[in-house]
Structure 1
């Protein structure tokens, strides 16, 4: 029987290696460390051989089957699909960069690997790609970096300089280059502007903010008032960014009526371009259920225009109307939650950072630490929700949504 995508996705690690067979010699090898590797068993010249195709989920089931088909074509032509292609001498920067990227890709998150290569193709290759590795000077690299700085992308300029150094450190031991021309450029880069943290109140003022949201009456239209209140409360409960809340659609939510409700935010909607799983508290799930009863829109928080979500300013204007202009932003809700969790001292930093959908600061550690910590994060967010609802009549916000049911929209 052919392997199913869900079987591959939810295959769990065991004490020993085990295989999930597809067909035609293709199978997924699941290792005790949790890694999942595609393997293709085939025969060539009367001998059984094994071909490593790649790692799941970086290489999907459909892509693995395509690789299997390509291998079968090679066998039909009398070629060994596992035979290494003739080695092409590496002389140019682009050749070295692509070899370095290929060497690292298995240890990187798929989204990060894609962004890294895009960065090189957009900024480095046009200036340095066809140049001989040994002929590139520090001035050449600096000119390329300056062109990136010129468009205001100071974070990218630092990353691209770092990538050049990494590529040369990969190339030098293999005899492709003699020195790193980017080694001494750090002091010449433009400094990044100081980070401007989103305004937020202190934790001592949190009860007043919660009660202000609960009693929110900043809009005359009952429908808009109820939706704004619900969106503010939902963002606070889930630690979500403004865009993640306002663009939420009903098909992203799973099991709202069960003990383990989940919000699955698609990768293309996330800042870090990877899927974000939010275990929902019972209060967040109840709020969604109340909203769902009165909505026919695909958006959880529909706006005034048919088929559109609330605007990007709806919630921040709500903060202004509550008297928090310059003191508290919606993005600042995340800072409040993070401060609360860190000061509690019994939530692990990994749980907090994952709940905020932050990237792992230690790139090497992040490559190996792929745990999602759904259960402890669910407990943390539930305790946060209990804290919030302990400051108000917990049913008030939900009942307000139900009493001021939004006018139904046609499904978008």
Structure 2
């Protein structure tokens, strides 16, 4: 990057993501350069700020390709995530058929997942919130593992604890494979017998893995005790407080968040912001309050997958958060300001887009949004809303 500015006038249609915009054609002619400067991310985002903009001034020396590289990285994360789910499909399929669990395959899945989270945790959290996978248990396993490892990265968990945490999170629902599907999908209240069958799934998963051999004690503990609660009202052993291991307390939080943000047979999913609010209300009664607060920090004020209304009236879904600018995440635009669905996804970084911010978080279950969101989702079924 040069020390001296190198200004150039350029038409909007020739802009490339990463160009440093110094002034719009709608600015006052005598205004100073770089009074409203920012990186260009997309033409749609620019036109949201200035609908009649025909050309801009850029600083060639400050321009870079970082935004487009970030989009390429998101595509790589998506490929890796889909591969992880495919591998977990095979693992769950083996267990359903009564075949031996292949430790090498599980280790490879976990190592790939850890590397992905370390490299691009923001994209991995967003992908984990997508609800377009047929096998609900596979989706649950991978999502909880992603959330747990992102949580671990945020709090600086020791390297030697990442493997048992990730493995325990990936395998935490295996005991549910022994629960009849008609109970898991039942819409009516469960009988006491059915409730007890559910309460025993962590022990069934633990006993299955113990019989397979090769799993360390910390992994087995996560599988056995991720449904325990600090007040002693969890299951299967009704442990209290510090009797519950640190890793199990982490997965207790991430698994509940995942469950709250997923459609269930007996209730609709909560929005990410409402799910975090619920966890916060439960923080002293059910969970480790310090860990709940750290988990919320790891996802940000507007978590990935959160539906928001922007200051110009457009709707968007949060894609990734910034550590230092938590109220200005990256968002994927869903509509124009007139609430007309966009034909193509546009990634906008609010931290780099002046005069555009989030007005409020929205609840996708709001009946007033139902028709609009159906129209949006018909064109983009992968959105996590």
TM-score, structure 2 normalization = 0.24
